[in-house]
A and B are shown apart, each in its own frame.
Chain A
Amino acid sequence: MDAYLSSPDPSPGKITLIVNGETRRVAAAGSDLLVDTLRDKLNLTGVHVGCNSARCGACLIEIDGAPAKACTVLTGQVEGAEIRTVEALAQQDQLDPLQTAFRDAHALQCGFCTPGMLMAVRTLLQDNPNPSEAEIRQGLKGNLCRCTGYQTIVKAVQAYVSDTSDATNAANPDAGAVGTSPKRVEDARFLTGRGQYCADLNLASQLHAVFVRSEVPHARIVKVETREAENMPDVVAVLTGKDVAADQIGELRCGWTVHSRDGTPMQGGARPLLAHQTVRFVGDAFAVVLAESAEAARHAARRVRLKHEPLPHNISPTDASTSERLHGEAENNICFDWQFGDETGVEQILANAAHVTEIDLTNNRLIPNALEPRAALADYQPGRGSSVLYTTSQNPHMARKVITETLGFIDEHELRVISPDLGGGFGSKIFIYPEECVCLWASRHMGRPVKWVSSREEAFLTDAHGRDHVSTARLALDADHNFLAMNVETTANLGAYLSSFAAFVPTFLYATMLAGPYKTGTISCRVQGVFTNTAPVDAYRGAGRPEATYLLETLIDQAAREIGVDPVALRRKNFIRPHEFPYQTPVALEYDVGDYEAHLDRAMDLARVDTFQSRQNEAAAQGRLRGIGVSCYVEACGIAPSAVAGALGADVGLWESALLRFTPSGKLQVFTGSHSHGQGHETTFAQLVSDRFCLPLNEIAVIHGDTDKTPMGMGTYGSRSLAVGGSAILEATDKIIEKGKRIAAHLLNKSVDNIEFRDGHFHDDARNAHVPLQDVVHAAYVPHDYPLDLEPGLEASAFYDPINFTYPSGTHVCEVEIDPETGQIDLVAFTAVDDFGQIINPMIVDGQVQGGIAQGIGQALMEEALYNPQTGQPITRSYATYALPRATDLVAIETDTTFTACPSNPVGAKGCGEAGAIGAPPAFMNAVASALGVRIDMPATPEKIWRACLKRNHAD
């Protein structure tokens, strides 16, 4: 066989590759995946791994000028071929024109898909230098982006091709004013492949962890057989749930306690780090293999055997109460049976109302699918107070608290948690999972750093899923069509364990949003949270609010159909009016401000609703059904006033922090407790202070994601970063200005009362004298001529606890077209008009809206996590089985904003990250119902649509 060895050298082998124009001799095996060789041997970590199964395009490179997914090529297959990666595009720090076009069009958020996307565009344009929009979308079909919704990427390509990049502000680093759209600070590193994601990091002598996971949905563990695996080459240890238990390690618990209607606290759901006695879902980890290479660990993991006694399983929330119990404490698998609002009052009104509309609906289970899989790299350093955990976390401080409490052998002050660049989160990286805890525990056990990177299949099986509600809702209307009362009964599937926020999401984040923008007189809501043999369910973009909005907006459309009124008119009639704010809803929240008709009117205009009929007729002439759907929403963001959170059962406060530090040379560092994973905080937060201090953006650095550097923070979720984190920054800014005034007063020989700060100068207007900020900074650090009673230095920190939630609102309008014979459905138009209050960077806000809508449309159109009810096996465990929206599935989305000032925080911002995921599903599904004449459940698959059409034909 030797004659045909891919490389003549004996193993480990040296292979010659031509990479980015250089000839490289690499010590790799011919059978190594090229993606591993490029990343691990040549340190080309711009080549990302999103799936390792040929379906995401994050690893896309050029081989001899043609596109290739590096995860599908073996190293020995490309000896002598010309390989080009994203690292070859920029010259020094100079972005190439395509990269520039991407930056200028905001074609990237988390940046994880970006290198592959750039390479895909390059190869597309080689073949077709002047592609149409459809051709661009087709050319990007192999590249998933979970953040942008693709439209900005398409625009970037168009601008590049026609040489009309919008370079506004790009060349001008001064332009950072609030309300303008400077190009993002973080983009340069993402575009050049120099982002540092967790999987890109390595420590000397690290071990690689691979988890061994249950392949059965429910079973009692008899024995875990590890011997064979332990004896495999390069395997150092196999640790099991027994070892965890022996070390007296705690279990992961939900950080929010919900009480049932009878006053008892929720029951069950604690999650051991490795299953010890019972496995409860397919994917439940019961052992971890530690080896010198990831490959060795993967191979050995397949040799660890679980001897088990099967237990009956159940995946359906509605059958939970009659199924085998998952947790001893939770009778009938009910974790909580929670009630909110005046049930009796609501029932009375429902019994006597002129009209009652009732619907049953499900909210489909989703898998978040941040393109970067979770990862952890733990380095336990006994006695040095400097153990480090790198992990993919949206809230590193929370992670540190929960992980140290759970592990017990290390205290909060001894652990540094670093969350580097994050390839998207959407909620799924808020939670504390077993894996990162196990890595730290195993690092202590082995005395070596331990690294784990999730595969895409593991992500499908174990990332906390979203939604999964089954509900019945009734709405009472009077003869004038006023909403009198609403009753909602929901069964929420919690999965096999209670994830970090799992009890909070389907209760307080859900029921409190059921008023929407309407004056419904009274509302009651009952939610049963139940355990099933499925992956844990927790917050996914929107978290509770999309579920509430979908239910409410579906119910209203159904009511409009039943009583024969225009659904938009029915909404308008029941809106809370601008003069009625602050408005106390029947579900606890007090809305501060809003003008719902403003965005409704604007959306009607933009979406050309008045001429819809003619579009519908045109479609009908071609045998197609065209429908239009509207949804209006209010969401509660800026989470949250701590006292309110506490009253509702939170174990934590929900403030945010900031530390501002001027360096002696007058540059500014902004340390924030919130975390950016695509939202562009390094730009927007810098804009906030740039605006106040009149500093150019390139003299400001925003630092986040490191518990040893940043002040305590609660992290990023619930569209809270700007409203809460940004407010903390402004308060710290005020403190700096106050101190600066005292220094300036001294320098100007004036009383501090006479000093005002504006335009980057401290002014004494009476004397027409001023000192520039830079002189004040200098004086603070070189306090030769300085107030005696003032400490030197210029930095300030602030904690901000919001006084209220913020209440963004909006109207979304969707048009779809259906082919009744095939059931194929096309999104043809989508319009979103939102009120986010003060907007710091319109470009970034638009990106957030677009991306949220893409995810919302994904839920309505195609996404659904499926389990086989007979076997309990997950059906959707790869990108070949779980459909995510691709560039070809979406169209250009039209957006606009309206404005009401948010009185509840100093920034005036309301939050925009989740709006799209909230507004889009009901708009889409109402459009489907309008086309079909009947309602169907999400996702609107061709088969469901076809069946509905069939029924309709039979009825005709």
Chain B
Amino acid sequence: MPIKPQLLTPDTIAAARDLLAQDGTAVLIAGGQWLTPQLRSGTQTPEHIISLHRVNELRGIRQKDDRVEIGAAETHHAISQSQLVQSALPGLAQIAAQIGDPATHQRGTIGGGLCAAPGQCDYSLALLGLDAQITTTHRSLTAVEFLDASNPKTIDQDEILISISLFTSPRTLFAKIPHPAANSAAVGVFAAELSGDRCRLAIMGDGVWPQRLTDIESRMGAWPFSTVFDWPAALERENPFFISRLNALWRRGQKDLTPD
């Protein structure tokens, strides 16, 4: 068994997909912020590493009707700086802006984050809150399917995440308390008003898998939403600390939205 993996640098999705299919140990690398420590520590020992940095098809942020489609290999930096995201999906721009330290922010990608650990990826909030559709080489999933707590759809070894398409909504709320070491959300909340008066509310955090709170969505009122409501009783019982922080974040975030 050769110990050094080979780096392959395809320039199309199709080529990358073929390469993946040829070697069951092969892994993809995008920004490398999550994968490289695994390679170094030997947690992952692929024979081939397939870099996505030349695959332009995985880039791009574009408007498609009432949705914005984001290529899986777009970086946190590009997403947070995009004029289109800032105006059409300000909540997503805020999430992206707070991910990582400056270097990880520059190199890490939305696709990498979602494939590596969707449960700890801050974008999961926006996926749920903006009714995202996730397109891979193999299938198309809704955010709710992708992040189904009881049956999360992890991206398979031979599958490539291509893009994420989210409903535009300038009416969003995002707030996060970062984990003191890991930086991803220890408490995160995201709300959006979508067209047709549909509201979305998603939460995640330390020990709390990203989830939509559909019960509350019907009661939270139109943007800038209502100040108070009851959080799920079960969560409150199991994790009162989380709920208290969530509550504070929500109230303050909501207050910030309301013009004095």
Contacts and interface: CB of A to CB of B under 8 A. Distances in A.
Interface in A59-105: 60, 66-69, 71-77
Given A822-B244, A822-B249, A141 B107 contact: no
Given A54-B104, A68-B107, A299-B45, A29 B40 contact: no
Given A72-B31, A76-B9, A296 B3 contact: yes
**Which among A74, A124, A942 has the highest number of chain B CB atoms within 10 Å?**
A74
Contact of B181 (A30, A823, A881): A881
Interface in B201-226: none
Nearest to B75: A66
A4 B15 contact: yes
B7 A57 contact: no
B245 A73 contact: no
A1 to B, nearest CB: 6
Contacts, number: 162
A882 B36 CA distance: 19
Contacts of B10: 4
B49 interface: yes
A843 interface: no
B9 A6 contact: yes
A790 B119 CA distance: 80
A233 interface: yes
A72 B36 contact: yes
A232 interface: yes
Interface string B1-36: 111111111100001000100110000010111101
Interface in A263-309: 295-296, 298-299, 301-302
Contact of B32 (A73, A232, A880): A73
A57 B107 CA distance: 14
A722 to B, nearest CB: 35
Interface in B78-96: none
A72 B63 CA distance: 31
Given A30-B6, A67-B103, A74 B245 contact: no
B3 A821 contact: no
Given A54-B36, A233-B2, A295-B3, A6 B8 contact: yes
Interface in B169-214: 177, 180-182, 187
B6 A1 contact: yes
Interface string A877-891: 001111110000000
A53 B51 contact: no
Interface in A1-59: 1, 4-6, 11, 29-33, 52-54, 57
A74 B52 CA distance: 12
B19 A4 contact: yes
**Which among A54, A67, A301, A879 has the highest number of chain B CB atoms within 10 Å?**
A54
Given A4-B15, A29-B6, A68-B107, A74 B248 contact: no
Contacts of A77: 7, 9, 29, 32, 51, 53
Contact of A29 (B7, B32, B36): B7
**Which among A68, A296, A824 has the highest number of chain B CB atoms within 10 Å?**
A68
B20 to A, nearest CB: 11
B67 interface: no
A580 to B, nearest CB: 45
Given A72-B31, A821-B248, A822-B245, A142 B103 contact: yes
Interface residues of B, number: 50
A57 B103 contact: yes
**Which among A69, A71, A302 has the highest number of chain B CB atoms within 10 Å?**
A69
Contacts of B232: none
Do most interface residues of chain B lie in helix, strand or loop, or is the interface mixed? mixed
B7 A142 contact: no
Interface string B149-180: 00000000000000000000000000001001
B48 interface: yes
A457 B41 contact: yes
Interface in B49-64: 49-51, 53
A76 B241 contact: no
A120 interface: yes
A74 to B, nearest CB: 6
- Range, interface on chain A: 35 or more
Nearest to A300: B3
Interface string A917-956: 0000000000000000000000000110011000000000
Contacts of B7: 5-6, 29-31, 74-77
A123 interface: yes
A822 B19 CA distance: 48
B80 to A, nearest CB: 12
Given A72-B107, A821-B247, A880 B36 contact: no
A386 interface: no
B42 interface: yes
Nearest to B40: A52
Interface string A569-581: 0000000000000
Interface in A455-484: 455, 457
Interface in A842-895: 862, 879-884
Given A120-B102, A821-B245, A5 B37 contact: no
A32 B36 CA distance: 10
B181 A880 contact: yes
B96 to A, nearest CB: 15
Contacts of B249: 822
B106 interface: yes
Nearest to B8: A4
Given A139-B102, A299-B42, A881-B182, A5 B6 contact: yes
A819 interface: yes
Contacts of A819: 248
Given A1-B8, A74-B36, A142 B247 contact: no
A234 interface: yes
A862 B247 CA distance: 23
Nearest to B120: A880
B95 to A, nearest CB: 17
Contact of A74 (B19, B32, B34, B104): B32
Interface in B107-132: 107
A60 B105 CA distance: 13
Contacts of A6: 6-9, 51
B103 A234 contact: no
A71 B40 CA distance: 9
A879 B33 CA distance: 14
Contacts of A881: 181-182
Interface string A135-152: 000010111000000000
A883 B103 CA distance: 19
B102 A124 contact: yes
Interface string B229-246: 000000000000100110
A822 B177 contact: yes
B65 interface: no
Nearest to B22: A1
B181 A883 contact: yes
23 contacts: A1-B48, A5-B9, A30-B7, A53-B37, A53-B40, A66-B77, A66-B107, A67-B102, A67-B103, A68-B103, A69-B104, A71-B37, A72-B32, A72-B103, A73-B32, A74-B36, A124-B102, A143-B101, A455-B41, A821-B244, A821-B248, A822-B248, A942-B241
Interface of A: 1, 4-6, 11, 29-33, 52-54, 57, 60, 66-69, 71-77, 120, 123-124, 139, 141-143, 232-234, 295-296, 298-299, 301-302, 455, 457, 819, 821-824, 862, 879-884, 942-943, 946-947
Top-3 shortest CB links A-B: A142-B101, A30-B7, A53-B37
Given A6-B6, A72-B36, 19 more contacts: A1-B19, A5-B9, A6-B8, A30-B9, A31-B4, A31-B39, A33-B39, A53-B36, A53-B41, A54-B104, A57-B103, A69-B107, A74-B32, A74-B51, A76-B7, A123-B102, A299-B3, A879-B181, A942-B177
Interface of B: 1-10, 15, 19, 22-23, 29, 31-34, 36-37, 39-42, 45, 48-51, 53, 77, 100-104, 106-107, 177, 180-182, 187, 241, 244-245, 247-249
